[in-house]
Chain A
Amino acid sequence: MGAVAEPLPNRRRGARRIRRAGGRGLLYVLAWIVALAILIPLIYAVLGGFRDTGQIAQNPVGLPDPWVPSNYTDILKSGTFWRQLWNSVLIAGLSTLLTVPLAAAAAFIFARFAFPGREWFYALFTLGLLFPVAVAILPVFIMVRDLGLLDSPLGVVLPQAAFGLPVTIIILRPFFASIPADLQDAAAIDGAGPLRFFWQILLPLSRPVLATVSVLAIVSSWNAFLLPLVVLTDSSQWTLPLGVTNYSTEHGADTAKILAFTTLSMVPALVFYAFAERHLVRGLTSGAVKG
């Protein structure tokens, strides 16, 4: 750090560089240890899917010998995996398509309109961050049942979208507020009302942050477990997380098959992550840094 401005005698500078090189090496070692801790379970799952269960019991370390691709191919050939994948995609897509537009419209009002009780309404939404699904799950279940939406994707989508509103609004509001008022004035002089300003100017300008909140909504829906667990009892409606838990109880002793199924269910999330990491990180850190 900042040795540039420091006039040191040659000998001391040399000693310092050596010490710093040693420190560097230590940093790399530490980084690799953490990296391995993250990677080992993932590699174990991927390779485990290529073994048979006898191999896993005898030698779970090292490469599979011989490689057994049938665990993977069997799952890919059966319809179950694809149906669950489709259910997950459908529910994540619908949830996001519901949460983001509704939250954007509400955040627009919170950001650019003054009216009595505005902060009160906003506080009501932020409180939602504290309501875990577990607290509301019993009444939500009763309500979904009374609406006749058990075993329907909508029974998951609607509550999920409602619970996703707080985070989305909290991220969108400051962004919408930071768009200069001059723009809105100019639009007004040209005869554009608030609706057209929202649609034709604000939303196009907010594409990055909209991408961010969409990614957040997709990931949280994709991983959701408790709500689908109580709402979707019919196995044809199950999402991937339900499929994975069920597959692992059904094939109790067949570790290799379970690992293959689990690995396949990870793949879409990891591929998505590789493309959307930047948006995800931006969404999670917005606000947390500024305080």
Chain B
Amino acid sequence: MAATTGQAAPPGRLADDVSVARVGGPGPADRRRARRRRVLRKLTTIALFLLPALVLYLLLVVFPIFQAVRYSGYKWSGLGPLTDFVGLDNFKRALQDDVFRGAVKHNAIIVALSLCIQLPVALGVAMLVNARLKGRALLRLLFFAPFVLSEVVTAVVFSLMLQPDGLVNHSLDKAGLSALGADWLGSTSLVLYTCFVVISWKYFGFHMVLYLAGLQQIPRELEEAAAIDGANRRQIFRYITLPLLGPTIRISVFLSIIGAIQLFDLVWVLTGGGPVNASNTMAIYVVDWGFKRFQFGYASAVAVIMLVISLVFALLYQRFVLRRDIEGALTTMGR
């Protein structure tokens, strides 16, 4: 999605170019006036089309971000005027709070697990669906379905399945594997990994669809030619499929990391961040302090930290990873 940023569009030509050319031999003053009118009309058109979106966006996305920065300097309950300025105290407090540090760590663990497990699995499944299996259209439809289910529905169903006496433990018992049963959502050491499995269930289809689209762009002739030259399957994957899939993988990694930094709905409904903050995330921490304990200033400071993490990551990623794609990944074979 973010990848299209690099494409510059051709400037559109306006009707006025033509109408002015039709007028025969105007004096220099006339011409200047006509030009000024043309520019004015173009600006009016631009304003007319761009302003509604821009105003809505500035008012409800950009302005709130600045407001969050402003609130973060105050001790404030969300009601009444902002009076109690505390400088950077809120930030200091957040960075020293073990619960917040834990939340950052949990986000980082989810990022790492997503990159090391969820995305490779998604790539594997994409290749599976891309192979000429019978019923692959149906498989694709099925694998992608969790993505349209809401986080809430997913979390409610899984939380029931994962209860100590729920479907999962019951099935393990029946299979004679009761030793493997556990309190999946109640154990502080397990809960984060349980959440990760549910997250993967919901989102791997999204990444699969991305990879699938990338795979379908790779000309079959390339792989066939390599096969004729005696390359085995692993070599074809390593030296042809993977490099050509580079741009898609880099976008998928980007979206996965941004998503993991912002993780909220699923975990909120599944565990509420518990037990004992063992599955707390940054976003949950923000909502918790803002809407449950009404410390809007402090919660805003945490939101700003979250924003800075996203921005720094995104800028670095754009600068060092995505730039290669703009230079043309196909012609350089991903080198």
Binding site for B on A (CB under 8 A): 1-3, 5-6, 24, 27-28, 30-31, 34-35, 37-39, 41-42, 44-45, 48, 57, 59-61, 98, 102-103, 105-106, 108-115, 119, 121-126, 128-132, 134-143, 158-159, 161-163, 165-167, 169-171, 173-174, 176-177, 181, 184-185, 187-189, 191-195, 198, 219, 222-223, 225-226, 230, 240-241, 244-245, 248, 255, 258-259, 262, 265-266, 269-270, 272-274, 277, 280-281, 284-291
Contact of B57 among A3, A134, A165 (CB under 8 A): A165
- Any chain A CB within 8 A of the CB of B24? no
Among A191, A241, A272, max chain B CB count under 10 A is at A241
Q: In residues 178-210 of chain B, which contact A (Cβ within 8 Å)?
A: 201, 205-206, 209-210
Nearest Cβ on chain B to A129's Cβ, whole angstroms: 6
B12 (CB) vs chain A CBs: closest residue = A112
Number of A-B contacts (CB under 8 A): 350
Q: Which residues of A contact B2 (CB under 8 A)?
A: 126, 129, 170, 287
Contact of B296 among A5, A124, A138 (CB under 8 A): A138
- Any chain A CB within 8 A of the CB of B97? no
Binding site for A on B (CB under 8 A): 1-5, 7-15, 17-18, 42-43, 45-46, 48-50, 52-54, 56-57, 59-65, 67-68, 71, 78, 125, 128-129, 131, 133, 139, 141-146, 148-154, 156-161, 165-167, 170-171, 174, 201, 205-206, 209-210, 212-214, 217, 220, 223-225, 227-228, 233, 236, 247-248, 250-252, 255, 258, 261-262, 264-265, 268-269, 282-283, 286-287, 290-291, 296, 299-300, 303-304, 306-307, 310-311, 314, 322, 325-326, 329
Q: Which residues of A contact B143 (CB under 8 A)?
A: 34-35, 38
Q: Can you pick out 9 interface pairs between chain A and chain B where the beta carbons lie within 8 Å of each other?
A: A34-B143, A113-B46, A129-B258, A134-B303, A139-B64, A142-B296, A177-B10, A198-B49, A266-B153
**Chain A facing B: main interface SS:** helix
- Supposing A140-B64, A226-B287, A285-B213 touch, asked if A188 and B3 sit within 8 A by C-beta, the answer is no
B224 touches A1 (CB 8 A): yes
Contact of B247 among A59, A244, A259, A290 (CB under 8 A): A290
Q: Which residues of A contact B306 (CB under 8 A)?
A: 132, 134-135
B209 touches A281 (CB 8 A): yes
B152 touches A140 (CB 8 A): no
A6 touches B228 (CB 8 A): yes
A288 (CB) vs chain B CBs: closest residue = B251
- The CA-CA distance from A185 to B19 in the complex, in Å, is 12
Nearest Cβ on chain A to B156's Cβ, whole angstroms: 5
- The CA-CA distance from A44 to B161 in the complex, in Å, is 8
Q: Which residues of B contact A132 (CB under 8 A)?
A: 261-262, 264, 283, 306, 310
Contact of A110 among B9, B128, B225, B247 (CB under 8 A): B9
A44 touches B157 (CB 8 A): yes
- The CA-CA distance from A162 to B250 in the complex, in Å, is 27
A285 touches B209 (CB 8 A): yes
Contact of B13 among A41, A142, A181, A289 (CB under 8 A): A181
- The CA-CA distance from A99 to B49 in the complex, in Å, is 13
A165 touches B56 (CB 8 A): yes
Q: Which residues of B contact A111 (CB under 8 A)?
A: 9, 12
A138 touches B62 (CB 8 A): no
- The CA-CA distance from A138 to B53 in the complex, in Å, is 22
Nearest Cβ on chain A to B48's Cβ, whole angstroms: 8
Nearest Cβ on chain A to B124's Cβ, whole angstroms: 8
B61 touches A131 (CB 8 A): yes
Q: Which 9 A-B pairs have the closest CB atoms?
A: A112-B12, A2-B224, A114-B11, A291-B247, A177-B9, A162-B60, A139-B64, A139-B67, A291-B325
Nearest Cβ on chain A to B152's Cβ, whole angstroms: 4
A143 touches B64 (CB 8 A): yes
B307 (CB) vs chain A CBs: closest residue = A135
A130 touches B7 (CB 8 A): no
B287 touches A130 (CB 8 A): no
